[in-house]
């Protein structure tokens, strides 16, 4: 019944022109109960969903921490010495996971070529000064979340994050080939190209050069179809984002909160810490109220008081989350780049009726 309701809902979104191509996957109690697709896509199509990929990065970090590779209070500089420059020697793994490290920007002059150059961008982040005393405020580390955690894990294990994604998540869950940071050429024929939505009439997206958002990254690095469809961006490890199918990212979330096909990715204790070891405050980059747990944003679309969900949305309107109390997982992937999450919210609320 839920499969039919979700299918009808996304068919309506596409037929009305509100969306172009959509995938939805829903797990309940460790079982896939919805696998729906609408528009020019299949369940095996890949979508670039931007920050939804942060769930992949955070999961890798948690799995390594559970095995004792490092702790949440380990300083980044103890593993990556040059990161301690400019007063960042006390930044811990917990600070980065909770977006309180004070390093939310990659610089207003950073180019597309720069973000595709792993060593260059990591060196630039390492030499930067914090915007605030680490641990005292929160601000969305849109790009730096992935680079800092990725370089930290690479130095701790000797393996790049793409290899860790395959070893820690892809192979155990049987979704190798459906979750990517940097994507080789072969699977790109499964990608659904991103499509931009024209801005509303009269709306300007120009920012004052001294605004936090402008300081954090140049305008050419804002997630758009033009950026996400580029071959160099698709091929680069930019682990604050990810390319995925809804089924694969939903299976990841389901395996965080319980066993799926006999595989559980994190212990119940770690999952509890994701929701309870948190930082709440005004986001120093975007100005909105923020609630960050260990590696995930807290709450789901449409969630109210008492919501126990955690997950990540992606700029453009995609969204994924897990609720460890209800056992419900929803992943919504799309290619039309919109400025809100209205269509994803419709599906999340439909599933939670």
In Å, how far are 11, 254, 261 from 31, measured between CA atoms? 23, 8, 9
Cα–Cα distance, 199 to 219 (Å, whole number): 15
Report the DSSP beta bridge partners of residue 333: 23
Question: In terms of Cα–Cα distance, which of 112, 231, 115 is closest to 183?
Answer: 231
Cβ-Cβ contacts under 8 Å for 279 (sequence gap 6 or more)? 98, 99, 100, 138, 290, 291, 292
Cα–Cα distance, 291 to 96 (Å, whole number): 14
* Token pair listed for 328: 């419900």
* Residue corresponding to tokens 């690095």: 221
* Residue corresponding to tokens 């996304």: 10
* Residue corresponding to tokens 């597309």: 112
**E strands, the chain, in order:** 22-28, 31-38, 47-48, 179-180, 195-196, 243-244, 279-282, 289-292, 297-298, 310-314, 318-323, 328-334, 336-337
Tell me if residue 44 is catalytic. no
Active site residue: 16, 28, 51, 128, which one? 51
> CA 51 from chain center: how many Å?
3
- Please report which helix (H) or strand (E) contains residue 65, including its range: helix 54-66
Cβ-Cβ contacts under 8 Å for 215 (sequence gap 6 or more)? 105, 107, 108
* Token pair listed for 122: 């990591």
Question: In terms of Cα–Cα distance, which of 320, 317, 319 is closest to 341?
Answer: 317
Cα–Cα distance, 142 to 160 (Å, whole number): 20
**E strands, 78-170, in order:** none
Catalytic residues: 51
């Amino acid at each position: 019944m839920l499969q039919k309701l979700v299918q009808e809902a996304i068919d309506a979104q596409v037929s009305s022109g509100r969306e172009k191509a959509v995938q939805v996957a829903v797990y309940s109690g460790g079982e896939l109960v919805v696998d729906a697709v609408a528009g020019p896509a299949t369940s095996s199509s890949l979508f670039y969903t931007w920050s939804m990929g942060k769930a992949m990065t955070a999961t890798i970090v948690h799995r390594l921490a559970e095995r004792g590779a490092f702790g949440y209070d380990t300083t980044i500089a103890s593993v990556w010495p040059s990161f301690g420059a400019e007063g960042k020697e006390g930044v811990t793994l917990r600070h980065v996971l909770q977006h309180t490290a004070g390093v939310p920007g990659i610089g207003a002059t950073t180019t597309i070529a720069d973000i595709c150059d792993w060593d260059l961008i990591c060196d630039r982040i390492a030499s930067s000064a914090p915007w605030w005393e680490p641990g005292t405020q929160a601000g969305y580390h849109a790009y730096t979340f992935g680079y800092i955690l990725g370089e930290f894990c690479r130095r701790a294990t000797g393996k790049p994050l793409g290899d860790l994604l395959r070893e820690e998540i892809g192979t155990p869950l049987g979704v190798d080939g459906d979750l990517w940071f940097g994507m080789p050429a072969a699977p790109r024929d499964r990608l659904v190209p991103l499509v931009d939505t024209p801005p509303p009439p009269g709306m300007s997206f120009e920012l004052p050069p001294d605004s936090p958002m402008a300081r954090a990254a140049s305008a050419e690095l804002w997630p758009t179809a033009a950026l996400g469809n580029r071959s160099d961006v698709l091929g680069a490890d930019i682990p604050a984002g990810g390319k995925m199918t809804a089924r694969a990212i939903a299976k990841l979330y389901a395996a965080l909160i319980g066993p799926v096909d006999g595989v559980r990715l994190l212990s119940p204790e770690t999952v509890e810490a994701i929701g309870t070891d948190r930082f709440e405050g005004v986001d120093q980059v975007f100005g909105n109220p923020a609630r960050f747990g260990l590696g995930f944003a807290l709450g789901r679309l449409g969630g109210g008081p008492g919501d126990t969900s955690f997950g990540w949305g992606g700029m453009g309107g995609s969204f994924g989350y897990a609720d460890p109390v209800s056992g419900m997982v929803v992943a919504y992937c799309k290619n039309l780049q919109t400025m809100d999450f209205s269509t994803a919210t419709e599906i999340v609320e439909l599933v939670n009726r």
